Every structure is written in C-alpha cells, then in structure tokens.
C-alpha cells in the first residue's frame, strides 16, 4: 500500500491534470497550496479556506514550527492537524530553505547545519534525521527531504558540491523516514484513510463546486492507502541544466513518492527559471506529482503548468495581501494608489470571491491607509481566491484540451495593467 | 413620524428590555454596539458580525472619519453604509470625545474647537454645526450631539462651566441637525423604512436565534418611521450628582430622540461611575433609550443594565482581543500566559462561538506569540461573541423577571479567575 496515490486524469501538451489522494484529502492538480508557515495561513481563518476557498492542502514550515512552539509541544498535542484543527492535507518543507535564507552564523557540515534562531539567537541544529523527526511529530501528509539550498547565482562547481550533499542528505532522509514510519513515530498516522473527514476526502466536481461526490475508492480507483506519510525528493542544480539532470537522476535513484524542483525563484532571471522547468519537468517521473517549490506569480504558475508542473506553493498572495498588493486577472494592483480613492469597483471585476462580491477598491484603500488589519485579511482572501481559481480554470482548460489558448489569453489579460507578474 | 421608535417590552427592577427600530434595523435592548471606528470593526469581517454574531448596530467615529477619508469622499460614495457595505444601523459619535482625548494643541472657544490631527498634525476645526454636517454625510441612523468632555477629575466649577457649554452646543447641534434633515443633507435617508434589508430589519426571536420573524410593522406596532436620522443628547457632569441632574434637565429641555450618559469610565473609581448611573438613569426619560457611552467591562454592562441603561459601546472587546486579552464567563485571561502552552480547552468552555467551538488556548497562544494576526482576529471574534451573548442573556433574564439572580450569578462567575472586570 502506498501513502499517496496520484493519477493523471487528462493531459494537453506537457500540461496535465491529476487526482492526488492523501490519507486526509483528495486534491485535484495542478494545485496551489497556500502557505501556513506557523500553523496558520496569515490573515485567513481555516473556515474560509475550507468553506469558500476550498483549499485541499496547505503548507507548514518545519523551520518555524521547530523553533516555535517546538516539536515536543506539537507531538504532545497530537500533531499539527490536531493542534491547528486543519484536518485536510498538510505538506511540510524540510526546514532547509529557511535555515539558508533566514539565519546567519550557519555552520554547515556533512552531518547537518548549525544555525542561530532568527527569533532569539539561540543555537539550533538541523540534519536530515532531525528534520524527519520533526516532520513525523508534525504528522503532515507530505514530508520533504532535507536539502541544501545554494544561492541562485552559485557557480557550477559550488552547485555540484551542493547537490551532491543534497543527494547524500536525501538518502539519509529516506532511511530515517522509513525508520520513523515503521517505528510508529508519525503522529498523523491514519488507520483507515478514506474514513477521515469524509466530506473533505471527496473531490467536488469542477463543474459543480458545491457538490461532494462519491467516496474515494469508488470514484478514483480502489487502491487503499497505507495511512502513512509520503516523502518527496528535491531536485537542485540552480540554473545549470546538466546539474539539474544529474540531481534528478540521483533523486530518482533513491526513489520518492513525488519529486520537487527546488532552488528556483531565488533571484535568477525569469527565462532561466522557465528554461530549467522546461528542461527538467518532462524528464521527471510521469507517474508522480511534480512540485515546484516556492513559485510564484500567477504568470509563473501558468507557465510552469504549461511545462508539466502539478503542485505549487508561494507566500506572494498572503505576503502581498498584507501590504495592499492584489493579484487580479488584469494584473497586479496596489490598493494604496491614489487612483483608487473613489473607485467603487471590486479588486477584480472577473472574480467571484466574497471580497470582490462586496467590497470596493475605495473602501479597501481606506482600510489599508487607516492601518486596519481587515485590509490585510480581505485582500489576502481575494488573492488566495484568485490563485485557487486560476488553478481551477487551468485544470478545466487542460481537460478541454484548450490549455494553449487559455494560457495566451490569461497572460495577455494579466499584462493589461502593465505590471503583470512583476 | 419619528426617526426611531423604542418600546419597552419588559422590565425587572430598573432593568428593562426594549425594541429599538431604526430606518435600517431592529435592535433588541439592552444592546452592546461593537465599535467600528474607521468604518470597520477591527479584526472582524462584516459577514461575521451579520451572520454569526448578529450585531444589529455598530458605531462609527466621526472624528476619525472626518480626518480620513473625509466627509467629502464618504458623501461622494453615498454615505457610510454604501461606502463600507454595512447596511444595518450605525451610531456615530460627535467627535468631541476624540478631540479632547486624542489631540493636543486644542483651542476651545464658544464656537467650537481647533485641534491638530493626530494623523498628520494638520489644523482642523470641529463645532456643533460641522459635527452635524459630517454626521449627515456619514448618514448614520443615530447622530450624537457635539459635547465637551471635561477630565474625569474636573472640579465642580470646571465641570459646571463645561456642561453649560455642552448645553449650548446641544441646542446648536439640534438646530443645525433639523436644518440638515429638512434640507436633504442626510445621505442615509430611507424613503421607505422597513423595505430596507428586510432580513436585517426583522428581529430574531431570542429563543430561536436563526429564524427571522414577521415584518416589523406587524410584529412591533404599525408606527411608520420617517426615514430620517435620530439625534441623541449627552448628559455630562462628571461625578457631581447635582451637575448631572442639571445637565439632564437642560438636555431634556432641548429634547432629543434618546439620551446618553457621557463622561464616565474616564479614570474615575468604579463606585463613582456606578453611583452616577444609579442616580441619573432612573431620572432619564423612561420612554427613550438610555445610552452609556464608552462603557465598559462585562461587569460594568450588567451593573449598568441593572441601573436602567439600554445601550453600550466600548473598544475593550476589540482592543484587548488584539493583544491576547480574552473576556470569558469566568473572567479575563491573557492568552500569552505560559499556563496555556498545552491547554487544549477553548477560551471559554461556556461559549458557543465559532472560535470556542474549534480552537484551543494552546493554539491561540501559539498564534499570538508567533505574531500571527489570526490570533487577534480569533480572540476579538470571541470577545464580541461574549459581549453580545451576555446582552442576550441579560435580556432573557429581564424578560423572565429573573435579572437580580442572573446578575449575582454572572458577577460571581466572572470573579472565579480573580481578575474579573479589571
């Protein structure tokens, strides 16, 4: 029995739709996963994510939860699902990216990395083994292997050294991961997958978003799931295509339940990013989900779906939303702009979310300028609605064999405001 | 035809319940009005205030909206209801209290008060006439007369001088108010009260909170409303009972649709506040709503209801909620306290709000310590639920003739944590 199951349901060029079953929910891909860094998606209640936005999977950040409240507290309270009350799927990253981007005074060794907490400066240590232990305590559905993330502009030699370390860490991650699974350390273990949160476990039909369909086993094959965590490997290699291919080969040789492209959107030019995706995604195992980590703008998502990617996460919709940045089908806008002072139209006239159905740009601008946190919560809500709806529309276009046209029209419309994707 | 209608439905000692009809909603009293200073109740979406919390009336602050976005913008966008999308009742204060508490470099004259904006230091001016003009542009259901607020510890002579000025300002407020009403300056005018937002306009039965009842005219008398704004007068006099009586007499002589007790909860001792309320409330017109401005803790509310007050507003549930302070039926708690680190119980085990039904103290504490704004929004939501539910229970107790017992039990329970009402 497998921890997750992923089946292609349609394809159009390199783009494909699929159904990802985890022990806690059914996820249609391509999917955008809202980021819940510290056991909460910033500014949005879980109720909204479940009821209106219908997010099936969100992220948790191992680095942040490792530091606060700490794995002992979360394990003691029954894991991240029980602690936070989010009962759909969780993907946890390995902590590697944050260690290399948020902390200083790092000491990297073959074994792992010592660093200072960005919260209180205390000395902390992460390694493949510790990351697996923390992620077992969190009890997420999808665990990420612990990797090193070199700078985006790292040279060939530095990148090769790094990916070789990442490959060794990937093997250690898998070994320890299996040990913890066999040893019952996974707090999120589900003895009867499919019996958990039945409503959440059933996908809504794309055409009828409010209707839950038949049970999983009937609708999407009868393969039982093991109830365990899944482990994804990460492909590094920066902008060097030969190293990307090498990293992919090493990662596939170890063998994972899914594969991620790491180390993109870290400062490189867009053509470099798209070039790496275009080169590597089609070489990744066709029967496993492909996850592009930490990317990106709505434009990036569509361009990556076009090149064969299935899963995404990014802080942009939540982070930008907090400061007044709205993503719309006509491009980005900053609500603080004076031209919105008496603008009675919604953030996005093509959006049907509860924020766009009710609130005007003039009102949202006022809230932002007045320092009302409701400006942040409302714009964040819309941004997530736009991201999730964009994925929904992409899936429909792929199923209709119409994705190439959808892509061009979507990107053209985004550019109408002149600052799309910037 | 009157702008509002208020009828007593039950009384128990000095405490009474009533139905207040405005042109936009029906409000059962005693009522707590959440404070929406800048056209938003901090941290809570209107959807929650309407659907779950069922608030029928909220406050707007004339001072803040006068400065930002300014009455011209709001008038241009059709008034505060249309601007904010809050379509139930609004009460706007006069701006006087904020001028005297938030600004410095004030210059008070017989005509009005010059002050510096707390936002940008620019020179501004408010007077009874300007306050009425701004409140007409806001289009609130209940307008407050412009008053001077002396310090809580002002001596007899200073207080008398102040209340005489307040009385002259009250007369000027009323004169200008009538002129604006007759001149069609009230942006919120409703030509057919009762036809507006029918669902909102009907009270829910106390016993069946989710069921809307029959139309207003049938259920609560057939008096038509004028569709205009109502004007409330304010009784000042600090802790001097003779001056309170004098201020009341002067205010009633001018004649208003409702009467407010101002200048309490501004630093005086609790017995002084309760003493003033106990002395003055029963002398206030029995057939008009009595509004205690800016008060207070749950204990204060019950003590004031016991002494005959019908309406309240206070920033405490929203302000304290933002910093982790929760009001519960067992007293206040601060979620940052280490004893909640692994506490899986809800904020208030006797509360049925959506926050208490789902989230644990341990999780809320984590969110607060992690700086997640969701800590603020969730605790604020609970606090408002507790305040509104407390009023609901007080109304039931009055209707059952059981308010004296309810009061004692409620207050005893509050004190169980040792810091109730502090």
Closest partner CB to B77 (pick from A42, A354, A362): A362
Q: Which of the residues A147, A313, A348, A389 is marked catalytic?
A: A313
Contact residues, A window 333-372, toward B, CB-based 8 Å cutoff: 341-342, 344, 354, 358-360, 362-363, 366-367, 369-370, 372
The whole-angstrom distance between B262's CA and the closest CA on chain A is 27
Are the C-beta atoms of A42 and B372 separated by less than 8 Å? Answer: yes
Cα separation, B172 vs B147, in Å, equals: 11
Cα separation, B332 vs B325, in Å, equals: 7
Q: What is the pLDDT along chain B (422 residues), one digit of tens a residue?
A: 999 999 999 999 999 999 999 999 999 999 999 999 999 999 999 999 999 999 999 999 999 999 999 999 999 999 999 999 999 999 999 998 998 888 777 899 999 999 999 999 999 999 999 999 999 999 999 999 999 988 878 899 999 999 999 999 999 999 999 999 999 999 999 998 865 544 444 444 444 333 233 334 334 445 799 999 999 999 999 999 999 999 999 999 999 999 999 999 998 999 999 999 999 999 999 999 999 999 999 999 999 999 999 999 999 999 999 999 999 999 999 999 999 999 999 999 999 999 999 999 999 999 999 999 999 999 999 999 999 999 999 999 999 999 999 999 999 999 987 443 33
Q: Which segments of B6-155 does DSSP mark as H helices, in order?
A: 46-51, 62-67, 71-76, 79-84, 96-102, 128-138
User: With an 8 Å Cβ cutoff, are A42 and B362 in contact?
Assistant: no
ipTM: 0.94
Cα separation, A346 vs A401, in Å, equals: 31
Per-residue b/e over B200-219, b at no fewer than 16 CB within 10 Å? bbbbbeeeeeeeeeeebeee
- The yes-or-no answer on residue A120 being catalytic is no
What residues of chain B lie within 8 A of the CB of A344, using their CB?
77
Residue of B nearest to A365 (CA): B69
Q: Is the dihedral of CA A214, A215, A220, A222 positive or negative?
A: negative
User: With an 8 Å Cβ cutoff, are B370 and A68 in contact?
Assistant: yes
Please report the number of interchain residue pairs, chain A to chain B, with beta-carbon separation below 8 angstroms.
Answer: 108
Contact residues, A window 60-89, toward B, CB-based 8 Å cutoff: 64, 68-69, 73, 76-77, 83-85
- The yes-or-no answer on residue A93 being catalytic is yes
- Mutation to test the B interface, candidates A120, A321, A373, most B Cβ within 10 Å: A373
pLDDT of residue B160: 96
User: With an 8 Å Cβ cutoff, are A358 and B85 in contact?
Assistant: yes
User: With an 8 Å Cβ cutoff, are A68 and B341 in contact?
Assistant: no
Task: Look up residue B396 and give its DSSP letter.
Answer: H
pLDDT of residue B149: 87
pTM for this prediction: 0.94
pLDDT of residue A168: 98
- Reading the block at residue B168, the tokens are 């002259």
Closest partner CB to B342 (pick from A77, A362, A363): A77
pLDDT of residue B104: 77
B51 contacts chain A (CB < 8 A): no
Q: Which of the residues B54, B93, B147, B310 is marked catalytic?
A: B93
Tell me the pLDDT tens digit for each residue of A31-45: 999 999 999 999 999
The whole-angstrom distance between B158's CA and the closest CA on chain A is 35
- Mutation to test the A interface, candidates B65, B319, B338, B372, most A Cβ within 10 Å: B372
Q: What is the pLDDT along chain A (422 residues), one digit of tens a residue?
A: 999 999 999 999 999 999 999 999 999 999 999 999 999 999 999 999 999 999 999 999 999 999 999 999 999 999 999 999 999 999 999 998 998 888 777 899 999 999 999 999 999 999 999 999 999 999 999 999 999 988 878 899 999 999 999 999 999 999 999 999 999 999 999 998 865 544 444 444 444 333 233 334 334 445 799 999 999 999 999 999 999 999 999 999 999 999 999 999 998 999 999 999 999 999 999 999 999 999 999 999 999 999 999 999 999 999 999 999 999 999 999 999 999 999 999 999 999 999 999 999 999 999 999 999 999 999 999 999 999 999 999 999 999 999 999 999 999 999 987 443 33
Q: Which residues contact B99 (CB under 8 A, 6 or more apart)?
A: B63, B106, B113, B115, B126
CA-to-CA dists, residue B170 to B50, B71, B286, B336, B373, angstroms: 33, 21, 20, 45, 41
């Amino acid at each position: 029995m497998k921890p997750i199951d992923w089946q292609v349901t349609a394809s159009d060029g390199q783009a494909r739709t699929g159904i990802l079953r985890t022990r806690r929910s059914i996820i249609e891909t391509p999917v955008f996963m809202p980021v819940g860094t510290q056991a909460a998606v910033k500014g949005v209640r879980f109720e909204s994510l479940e009821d209106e936005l219908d997010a099936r999977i969100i992220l948790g950040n191992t680095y942040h939860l490792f530091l606060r409240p700490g794995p002992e507290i979360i394990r003691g309270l029954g894991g991240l699902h029980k602690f936070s009350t989010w009962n759909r799927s969780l993907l946890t990253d390995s902590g590697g990216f944050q260690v290399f981007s948020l902390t200083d005074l790092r000491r990297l060794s073959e074994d792992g990395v010592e660093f200072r907490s960005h919260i209180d400066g205390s000395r902390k240590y992460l390694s493949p083994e510790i990351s697996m232990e923390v992620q077992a305590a969190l009890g997420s559905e999808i665990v990420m292997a612990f990797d090193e993330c070199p700078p985006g502009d790292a040279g060939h030699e530095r990148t090769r050294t790094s990916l070789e370390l990442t490959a060794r860490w990937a093997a250690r991650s898998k070994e320890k991961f299996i040990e913890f699974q066999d040893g019952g350390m996974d707090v999120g273990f589900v003895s009867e997958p499919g019996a958990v949160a039945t409503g959440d476990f059933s996908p809504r039909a794309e055409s009828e978003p409010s209707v839950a369909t038949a049970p999983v086993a009937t609708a999407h094959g009868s393969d039982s799931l093991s109830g365990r965590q899944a482990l994804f490997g990460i492909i590094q290699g920066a902008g060097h295509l030969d190293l990307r291919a090498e990293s992919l080969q090493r990662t596939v040789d170890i063998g994972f339940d899914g594969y991620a492209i790491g180390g993109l959107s870290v400062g490189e030019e867009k053509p470099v990013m798209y070039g790496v995706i275009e080169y590597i995604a089609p070489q990744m195992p066709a029967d496993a989900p492909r996850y592009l980590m930490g990317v990106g703008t709505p434009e990036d998502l569509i361009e990556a779906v076009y090149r064969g990617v299935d899963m995404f996460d990014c802080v942009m919709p939540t982070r930008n939303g907090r400061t007044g940045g709205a993503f719309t089908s006509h491009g980005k806008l900053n609500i603080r702009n004076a031209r919105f002072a008496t603008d009675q139209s919604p953030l996005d006239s093509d959006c049907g979310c509860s924020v766009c159905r009710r609130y005007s740009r003039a009102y949202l601008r006022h809230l932002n300028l007045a320092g009302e946190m409701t400006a942040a919560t409302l714009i964040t809500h819309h941004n997530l609605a736009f991201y999730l709806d964009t994925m929904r529309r992409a899936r429909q276009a792929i199923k209709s064999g119409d994705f190439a046209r959808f892509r061009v029209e979507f990107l053209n419309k985004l550019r109408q405001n002149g600052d799309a994707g910037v």
